[in-house]
Amino acid sequence: MNSVSMFKAILSFTFISVISLKPVVSIARHRQLVGEKRLTSFANDHLVTNLPGQSQVDFRHYSGYVTVNEKNGRALFYWFYEATTHPEAKPLVLWLNGGPGCSSVGYGATQEIGPFIVDTEGHGIKYNPYSWNREANMLFLESPVGVGFSYSNTTSDYDILGDDFTANDAYAFLHSWYLMFPSYRSRTFYIAGESYAGKYVPELAELIYDNNRDPSLRIDLKGILLGNPETSDAEDWSGLVDYAWSHAIISDETHKIIRESCNFESNNTWENKDCSESVDELMRQYHEIDIYSLYTSVCMGDSASSYNKSTRVMFKRSSSMMPRIMGGYDPCLDEYAKAFYNRPDVQKALHVSDGHRLRNWSICNSAIFSNWTQSKFSVLPIYKKLIAGGLRIWVYSGDTDGRVPVLATRYSISMLGLPITKRWSPWYHQKQVSGWFQEYEGLTFATFRGAGHAVPVFKPSESLALFSAFLLGEPLGHSRTYPMRMTC
């Protein structure tokens, strides 16, 4: 079965669950009973009307489950915010966080770029004046199953999670979601994300690009936007090591041993004892600080034990996958998000539960990371395919992130061998240098000065300006008098 036929089969068995407590209705059967024009009634049931702590806003937002595999009972949770103004004229952007195993709702939606940011101690939310839904309709997806509220009724699904599995489910989700929100099917579409979504995003984009050969499956994908993205394992590891050395995290001796003994292009990297022990030493040093933001404080919580937990290193010796260290800036926000999403009134408002039979929500699922079965060594070949297909690719990097540092991204981009069309230059926002950028044929790379792994947390106004420029296909601010371009 070719890929197009496979997805037609998937979509013919795709079901949408209105909320977790209502019966699941077959799209095919529903079309027969009530007709296509009434499919949007599902969306009305997902309208969020009483989110605790929400201020008065002039846009609608929706959340709930979309079942991507009816046989296994796999359902993905989403939260969708219409644009603050003229949503009918603005593009749709899907945002993904990585891990793998971390929540796009917990990070992207309520710590970074959504309109509601979780407040201190998880008691409520506050309005984010720099939300990206000022510029686009924003769709946040908890993916794959096992992340956040997303789940499967078939336990064996959790044993086969990997890059391809995640891309296939996200693709099935999009087509089912469009049935609920049909006005967006022909809308200009972009995919954005950060960290391990540096693999999710290109992989999903490639799936869309390949299947767009069938007009019935067409999604109007125009480009991808990636923040501090994992891209190519060998270059990411080299960048992590060199960045740690250049920022005085490790000694000259440790750096020298790693450089001489570690072959990050090999499948047997960790069999070399000198390499393995030296990388362990690097991880021990990062255990003392926040790898995601070198110059900010770690979250101490109520005791030293909470600090130890928040900085726990997750590192797989069985693969070349990059390590993950629990935490990030503000690492305390992770705990605030957990408190907020486990509130009965919040789960009821988001159509997750009835407020009594609660779902246990966590911002990251460590078991997913530990049991990840398949990770592409590099997505650079996908970059080349998408560039050749005319898609827009922008990559940005906070320059105080040690986890997927700016050096790693520069090393990866250099492997593409793209001709440079605009050489390294500063870019400005509100008359200040926000970072530096370079334009290539088919790709733009930008840095954010003084930002960690989750750039919008550190530079909300600047990141919104970059997002706006990306959507418009315009260059970043190139002079101190360049105004922020905002669409109405």
Strand-pairing partners, residue 356, are none
Distance CA 434, CA 24 (A): 48
CA 269 to chain centre: 28
Backbone angles phi, psi at 225, to 5 degrees: -130, 125
Distance CA 324, CA 366 (A): 9
Cβ count within 10 A of residue 134? 22
Backbone angles phi, psi at 176, to 5 degrees: -70, -40
> Any catalytic annotation for residue 401?
yes
Residue tagged active-site, from 46, 61, 255, 453: 453
Distance CA 62, CA 165 (A): 25
Residue tagged active-site, from 163, 401, 429, 463: 401
> Any catalytic annotation for residue 220?
no
> Any catalytic annotation for residue 195?
yes
Residue tagged active-site, from 143, 195, 278, 310: 195
Q: Which helix (H) or strand (E) holds 477?
A: none
SS3 labels along 74-117: EEEEEEEECCCCCHHHCCEEEEECCCCCECCHHHHHHHHCCCEE
Contact 100, 166 (CB under 8 A): yes
Backbone angles phi, psi at 125, to 5 degrees: -135, 160
Cβ count within 10 A of residue 374? 12
Distance CA 25, CA 11 (A): 14
Which residues belong to the active site? Answer: 195, 401, 453
